[in-house]
Amino acid sequence: MRPPCDPSKFIAEAVKSIPPSGIRRFFDLVSGLEDIISLGVGEPDFITPWHIREMCIHSLEKGQTSYTSNSGLPELRDELTRTYYRRYGLDYNPESEILITTGVSEALDIAIRAVVNPGDEVIVVQPSYVAYVPSVIMAGGKPVIVSTHRDDDFSLTAEVLEPAITSKTKAIVLNFPNNPTGAIMQKEGMEDIADLVVENDLFLISDEVYECLTYEGTHVPFSSLEGMKDRTVMLNGFSKAYAMTGLRLGFAMGAPDIIHSMMMIHQYCMLCAPITAQVGAIEALRNGKGEMERMVREYDRRRHFIVNGFNRIGLECCNPKGAFYAFPYIGDTGLSSSDFAERLLNEKKIVTIPGDVFGEAGEGFLRCAYAASLDDIKKAIERMGDFVDGLKQ
């Protein structure tokens, strides 16, 4: 009789070292509960606009179900070239400087794998999206954490970044507008960061998926700064701005050598992004501005309400100037982020995400998405106010 096998011994050490997503853990806790109000999901509560869905349906009716080129539909890459030139004066060659990916998550993964060698240090600016550190680890890199703070409205400064740079530093991963804080970067501060990047011969991986959800000021891509286009790969997608999360479509824009290297990985692990989603994205870029701006105006209305609500019930909250998250401070309650979020869920049926999920710098905070209806946000604030009052007794 052949001996039994322990499959766990075959699992790669890099995979063993990464923790499960803290966001998923809270969604598992919600399972089976009723009367839940969720401020936890980083997903628009809007349905994908009809004209985009209609183009997807029409493409299926026409039988457009084939593979596309590895790089994506030429028409989509052409539209992206025109869009970014119109918005920012950026000139990306659709043939060699744009890659269409299966969501921004794939773009992030292959961007890191394309530039990181084993042992390279990669600076990850936190609080940040949960995938950044695991992606660096799985690529064989060493994540080096740089924390932003509420005193700076969670914006990154050169003074905070510079001490983390060593001779082993290869790249920086950052995300503005930021998930989970809603922070944005001002151009003056970005110029200081760019100076450091150039002086130290570094590469920048800039996740700008919340670009269109900028409420105060104007979004400035890092690649638009002098000397930064070839040092930056810009990651973006259609999930947040056009409510197309389930269609899983992203893109990367960068120097030809970088995009080609990413495409080499992409062609083996994914081959191409779904053609139906690409057809929808073309329609979004051509005719989706009005619907996108309508959604952004509604997020802005909710933003003001939720921030005022948190401050009113005694949870100090910085003004998020982008994305669709508020990040109230709960440290004065005496509870950790995880304990606060779990008790809030169990006692008041409100789903939030504890800030420490996004790095140690997030401890003492909660991520609360205002990509929920205003009625649900009002109910959530009322219940949270009762919960905070109860903690004082």
Structure tokens at 365: 């905070």
pLDDT tens digits, one per residue of 289-346: 999 999 999 999 999 999 999 999 999 999 999 999 999 999 999 999 999 999 999 9
pLDDT of residue 42: 86
What is the distance between the alpha carbons of residues 58 and 190, in angstroms, rounded to a whole number?
Answer: 43
SS3 96: coil
Q: What is the DSSP letter of 72?
A: -
Q: Distances from the Cα of 178 to the Cαs of 157, 167, 175, 184, 194, in angstroms?
A: 14, 27, 5, 6, 18
What is the distance between the alpha carbons of residues 368 and 362, in angstroms, rounded to a whole number?
Answer: 13
pLDDT of residue 24: 75
**Lowest-confidence pick of 21-25, 366-370, 389-393:** 21-25
pLDDT of residue 60: 98
pLDDT tens digits, one per residue of 104-121: 999 999 999 999 999 999
Mean pLDDT along residues 89-96: 98
Helices (H), the chain: 13-16, 22-30, 50-61, 74-88, 103-115, 132-138, 158-161, 187-199, 256-269, 275-287, 289-312, 337-348, 374-392
pLDDT of residue 216: 96
Mean pLDDT along residues 185-213: 98
| Mean confidence (pLDDT) of the chain | 96
Q: Is the confidence at residue 22, as pLDDT, over 80?
A: no
Beta carbons of 232 and 223 less than 8 angstroms apart: yes
Structure tokens at 168: 């082993």
Cβ neighbors of 374 (< 8 A, separation 6 or more) are 301, 302, 305
The residue with tokens 């609360």 is 368
Mean pLDDT along residues 196-217: 98
What is the distance between the alpha carbons of residues 277 and 247, in angstroms, rounded to a whole number?
Answer: 5
Confidence of residue 185 (pLDDT cuts 50, 70, 90): very high
Q: Is the confidence at residue 21, as pLDDT, over 90?
A: no
Q: Which residue has the higher pLDDT, 293 or 18?
A: 293
**Is the backbone of residue 323 left (phi > 0), alpha (psi -120 to 50) or beta?**
left
pLDDT tens digits, one per residue of 151-182: 999 999 999 999 999 999 999 999 999 999 99
Q: Does domain 65-286 have CATH number 3.40.640.10?
A: yes
Mean pLDDT along residues 370-391: 96
Residues linked to residue 351 through DSSP beta bridges, in sequence order: 38
Percent of the chain with pLDDT over 70: 99
CATH of 6-46+288-390, one of 3.30.530.20, 3.40.50.720, 3.30.930.10, 3.90.1150.10: 3.90.1150.10
Q: Is the confidence at residue 27, as pLDDT, over 80?
A: no
pLDDT of residue 18: 86
Helices (H), 200-288: 256-269, 275-287
pLDDT of residue 35: 84
Domain spans in the chain, listed from the N-terminal domain onward: 6-46+288-390, 65-286
Q: Which residue has the higher pLDDT, 364 or 42?
A: 364
Confidence of residue 207 (pLDDT cuts 50, 70, 90): very high
Q: Is the confidence at residue 28, as pLDDT, over 90?
A: no
0.85 exceeded by pTM: yes
Confidence of residue 56 (pLDDT cuts 50, 70, 90): very high
Mean pLDDT along residues 77-84: 98
Mean pLDDT along residues 199-208: 98
Q: Is the dihedral of CA 152, 304, 188, 200 positive or negative?
A: positive
CA 297 from centre of chain: 20
Q: Is the confidence at residue 347, as pLDDT, over 80?
A: yes
pLDDT of residue 333: 96
